[in-house]
Amino acid sequence: AQKITQTQPGMFVQEKEAVTLDCTYDTSDQSYGLFWYKQPSSGEMIFLIYQGSYDEQNATEGRYSLNFQKARKSANLVISASQLGDSAMYFCAMRENNAGNMLTFGGGTRLMVKP
């Protein structure tokens, strides 16, 4: 079974609107972390936001927030007030209870912001 599933290969959003990118995960660990990275067309991987399994509040970083629903094993990324520069690939990743801080990545969602 896939550990990280991103079911939206591609999405469009109108500039200035909010968009939600879906991520579901599968783990039997009690302690784990969920990350979102952005990969623009230039190719670099940019860290956006983190949610720990024991965090009671949903994580927020500027225009990014993470809608964490532990019982449903979902960690959706919400981008508010989309900008043209938000057009990129977005990857959800999970760190399970392992010794090396290793990440497992989902297949990604390509977000395209329309002017």
Partner 1 sequence: NAGVTQTPKFRVLKTGQSMTLLCAQDMNHEYMYWYRQDPGMGLRLIHYSVGEGTTAKGEVPDGYNVSRLKKQNFLLGLESAAPSQTSVYFCASSYALDRLTAYEQYFGPGTRLTVT
What is the contact surface with partner 1 in residues (CB under 8 A)? 4, 31, 33, 35, 37, 43-45, 47, 50, 52, 91, 93, 99-108
Nearer to partner 1 (CB atom), residue 101 or residue 115:
101
Residue 21 vs 106, nearer CB to partner 1: 106
State the SS3 of 10-74. Answer: EEEEECCCCEEECCEECCCCCCCEEEEEEECCCCCCEEEEEEECCCCCCCEECCEEEEEECCCCE
44 vs 115, beta carbon nearer partner 1: 44
43 dihedral zone (left: phi>0; alpha: psi -120 to 50; beta)? left
Beta carbon of residue 59, minimum distance to partner 1 (angstroms, whole number): 9
For the bound state, the minimum distance from the C-beta of residue 7 to partner 1, rounded and expressed in Å, comes to 13
Could you give the CA distance from residue 50 to residue 4 in angstroms, rounded to a whole number? 15
Least Cβ distance, residue 111 to partner 1 (angstroms): 15
We find the least distance from the C-beta atom of residue 74 to partner 1, in angstroms, to be 17
